[in-house]
A and B are shown apart, each in its own frame.
Chain A
Amino acid sequence: MKDQDPPRWPDRFLRWFCSEEVLETLQGDLYELYRKRLAKRGKLIADLFFTFDVISACRPFAFSKRWFLNSNNNIMIGHYLKVSARNLVRHKTYSFLNILGLAIGMASSVIIFQYVLFERSYDSFHSKTDRIFRIRFEYYQNGKKEFNLASTYSAVGPALEQDYPEVESSARVIGFGDGTVLTYNNHAHLEKKIFFAETSFLNMFSFPLVKGDVKTALLQPNTMVISESAARRILGDEEPMGKVIQVFTDKPTPMQIVGVFKDVPGNSHIKFDFLVSYPTTYPWGWTQNDWGELSVYTYVLLNQGADFHDLQAKLPAFIEKYEGKALRSTNSFEELTLQPLRDIHLYSDLGGELEVNGNHKISFFLTIIAVFIMLIAWINYINISSANALDRAKEVGIRKVSGASQGHITLQFFFETVMINCIAIVTAAILILITRPYLEVLVGKPLTLAVFEDVRVLVTLLAILLFGILLTGTYPVVALSSFTIASVLKGKLKRSPTGWFLKRGLVVFQFTASIGLIIGTITVYQQIKHMQKQKLGIAIDQVLVVKAPAQISDSTFRARIEPFKNGLQQLAQVSYVAASTAIPGEEVGRIQNFRIANKTEKEKNMFRVIGIDANFLQAYQSSFVAGRNFSQELKGPSIIINETALKLLKFKDAQDAIGQAVLWEERKTVYEIIGVTRNYHQQSPKNDFAPTIFFYNPAAWGSFPLS
C-alpha cells in the first residue's frame, strides 16, 4: 500500500499550514487527484504534481488561524508601540541621552573594529598567503646585534630554491628609492610606487593580470607591467599593451608594457603601480648572485604541507655553507629568518620596511578599547533606564491593577528597549557614514566599508547588537516589572539589596572604565608632547626640504646642480642652501664598513653614511665637538663623524680623532677625519644615536634643505 500513498513531506507541510476546515476537502481532492494520476501516469509524475499542488495551495485562504495572532494581542502590540513612542517623546532628555550614548558607543566601537579588521586583513587576499615567507636579515658583529633588515643579498633566493626541495619558488624585488621619473609623450610623471620584480613574483602573489601572460611577463629586460589606474593616468584611453615608456633607472631606459594588473589593494604590505622586469637590473652586477649588497627583498613559496620551522632550522647551515669563512674573518655573524607573509604588517618592524607597518599590540589594545566603549555605553543605558524606573513605577502599578501580568509589562519594556536600540543603531550608522571621510584622512588609510560585505563580519556585528539589546533590556525590564502593586500604591518603593549592589557595581565599573580610558588618553598625549619637546640636537624649524625626484646621475647633472643651488641662494628668505643624501627624520639606508686605517680587518664596524655638502651642518645648526666643517678647498678625501661613531672607532676623545686616517672598506679608500659633530636625533628620540659618518658630496642628490 505504501506505493499508493502520496509523498510524505508535502502532505505534512500541507497539514502544517492548513486550517482544519480547509484541510478536509483540500486534502481529499488532492488524494483523489493523486490516485488518478498514479493510475494514469506513474508514481513519479503523480508525486511531482502532488508536491506542486500542495505548494500552489499555500495561499492565505488556506492558512490556519494560528498564523494570525489573536486580535487582542495585535491590539496590545500596537498599544505598546504607541506607549513606547509617547514615552520617548515625553522624556526628551532621557531618550536623547540614552539614544545618543548608545549611538556614539556603537559608532566608535564599529569604527575601531573596522580599523582593526582592516589591519588584520593585510596580505590575506593572496591565494597562497600561508605558504609565502619573506627573508629577514640580521647582522651581528663582535657578538652584538648591529641591525636587521627586511631585505637581503640577491644570492639568497636562488640558493634557497636550489638547495632545499621544500622551497617551491623564490621571488626577488628591488625598490627604486624615493621613486623615479617616467616619461611618455614628453610628459614626465614622478612615480613612487615602482619596483623591479621577477616573473615568479606575479605567480607567487595574487596580483592578477588583466592583460598579458603571467607566465612570460617580466622575463625580458626592459619590460614592465603597470596597474590599471596608472595606465589611465599616464596613457589615458590608449591601449597600454606594447606601449613604450621611458623610465629613469640609472639612466633613461625605454620600457615596454607587457601586462596590466588590477590595482593593488590597500591591505597589501607592498604597494606598487609599476613592476619593471628584474633582468633589467642585471647590468648593475649585484642583483643576480651577490653576497654584498643588502637591498633585495626576497620572498619564498614553500611546498604544500612543508613546515617553515623545519626550513628555518636549516638556515644557519645555509649561511655557514655560503658565508661561513668570510663571516669568521670579520668576527661577525648573520641570521636569516622566515617571516610569514601575514605577520609582516602587524609584527614586523625591520630596517627598510616597504611601508610603515602597523603594530599588533596597538590593534589588540584598540580592540579592548572598543569592547570597553561598548560596555560603558550599555551600562550607561542600564543606569539611565533604571534611574527612570522610579518614574515609571506608578504606570506599572496602574497597569497591574488593571490586570496586566508580569509578562505584559516585560513585553512593553522590551519594546521600548528594542525601539531605543534600533534608533541608536540607525543613528550610529549615520554617524559612521558622516565621520568616515574625516577619519580616513586622520588614519591615512581607506576605512573601506568592504569589511561589511563580509558576511561573517555582518553576522558578528548583528549578534553583538542583539546581545546588547538582550543585555540592556533585561535589567530594567526585570527591575520594573517586579514592582508589587501594594508597594507602588502605598508609595513605598524598596529595591532589593542585590539590585542595589548590582547597580552600584555597574556605576563603579562604568566610572572606572571611563576614567581608565581618559587617563590613558592623557598619558599618551603627554608622552607625545614630551617627545616633541625633546632637543633633537639640530634646528629643523626653519628648514624647508626640497625633495629631488630620483637618483639621476648622468654627466650633465653636476653641471646643472650648481646653478640650481645658486638660484635658491639668491632668494632673500634663504640663508643656506645645502644638499644631502638623507634628511633628518628618515632612516639612513646606507650602511657601510669603516675601520681605522692601521688596524686589522677584525676591527671594522658598520656605520650609517650620509653624503652632504659644505652647507648641510650649518643649515641645521649642528655644532662641532672638535675639528671643522667641509669646505670648497679640501685637500684629500675627508669625513666628519658623530660622537657615537667616535666611540665605536675607540678614540680617546674628539681631539684625538682629528687628522686620523680611516679606511672605507667598500670604496677601499682612506679618509681623513676633519671634524666631530655632536649627536643629533636622525630619527625619533625613541631611537638610539646611530654611529654616523658624513662624507663630502657637493652633488648629493636627494634633498635640498633650505634654511
Chain B
Amino acid sequence: MKLATFEELVLLVIGTLGDEAYGVAIKETLQKELGKNPSIGALHSALYRLESKGYVVSREGGATTERGGRRKKYYRITAYGIRTLEEVNEMRVKLARQIPGLKLGFK
C-alpha cells in the first residue's frame, strides 16, 4: 500500500490548505471537515512518514509568541504526492464501478 488511509486524509488536507498547512491547522481542518480528531503525536508521525516518502515537502517559518517562539513547519504537496492521490482515487473508482447499484458522482 502506497498510502495508509490516515496518511491519505492528511495528504488531502495539506493539498486543500495550500500555503497554510502546518500541524495545528491540519489538525483543526481534519476535525472540522472530516470529524477526525487525531492526537498531535499521531499527526506528526504521519507527517514525517509523508515527508520521508516524498509526498510532501516542508519549509520552516512563522514563529509566534503563542508558540513560545517555536517555528512552524509548513507542508506543501509535491507533484509525486498529487499523482499518488490520483492513482489511489482511480483505483478506488475503478473498483467501485464494478459494484452494481453504486452511484458515483458529485452531489
Contacts and interface: CB of A to CB of B under 8 A. Distances in A.
B41 A57 contact: yes
Interface stretch (B9-17, B70-78, B80-88, B98-106): B70-78
B37 to A, nearest CB: 11
Interface in A1-40: 22, 24-33, 35-36
A52 B45 contact: no
Contacts of B64: 32
B90 to A, nearest CB: 30
Interface string A43-65: 00000000011111111011000
B91 interface: no
Contacts, number: 74
A28 B40 contact: no
Nearest to B46: A61
B40 to A, nearest CB: 5
Contacts of A36: 24
A57 B70 contact: no
B69 to A, nearest CB: 8
Contacts of B73: 24-25
Q: What range describes how many residues of B lie at the interface? A: 20 to 34
Q: What range describes how many residues of A lie at the interface? A: 20 to 34
B60 A27 contact: no
B86 to A, nearest CB: 27
Contacts of A52: 39
B39 A25 contact: no
A62 B45 CA distance: 8
B93 interface: no
Contacts of B40: 26, 29-30, 33, 53, 56-57
B66 A53 contact: no
Contact of A25 (B27, B49, B66, B70): B70
B63 interface: yes
Nearest to B38: A56
Given A22-B44, A61-B45, A28 B63 contact: yes
Given A25-B60, A25-B73, A61-B48, A31 B67 contact: yes
B72 A28 contact: yes
A59 B43 CA distance: 11
A32 B43 CA distance: 15
A225 to B, nearest CB: 59
B27 to A, nearest CB: 8
Contact of B71 (A24, A30, A53, A55): A24
A33 B28 CA distance: 10
B84 to A, nearest CB: 20
A458 B71 CA distance: 51
B23 A29 contact: yes
A28 B42 contact: no
A501 to B, nearest CB: 60
Contacts of A35: 66
Nearest to A54: B41
A62 B41 contact: yes
Interface string B16-37: 0000001110010000000000
A56 B67 contact: no
Contacts of B41: 53-59, 62
Nearest to A52: B39
Nearest to B68: A31
Interface of B: 22-24, 27, 39-42, 44-45, 48-49, 60, 63-64, 66-68, 70-73
Considering the complex of A and B, which 3 residue pairs feature the smallest CB-CB distances, nearest first?
A: A28-B70, A56-B41, A57-B41
16 contacts: A22-B44, A24-B60, A24-B70, A24-B73, A25-B70, A25-B71, A25-B72, A28-B23, A28-B67, A29-B22, A30-B40, A52-B39, A53-B41, A57-B40, A57-B41, A57-B44
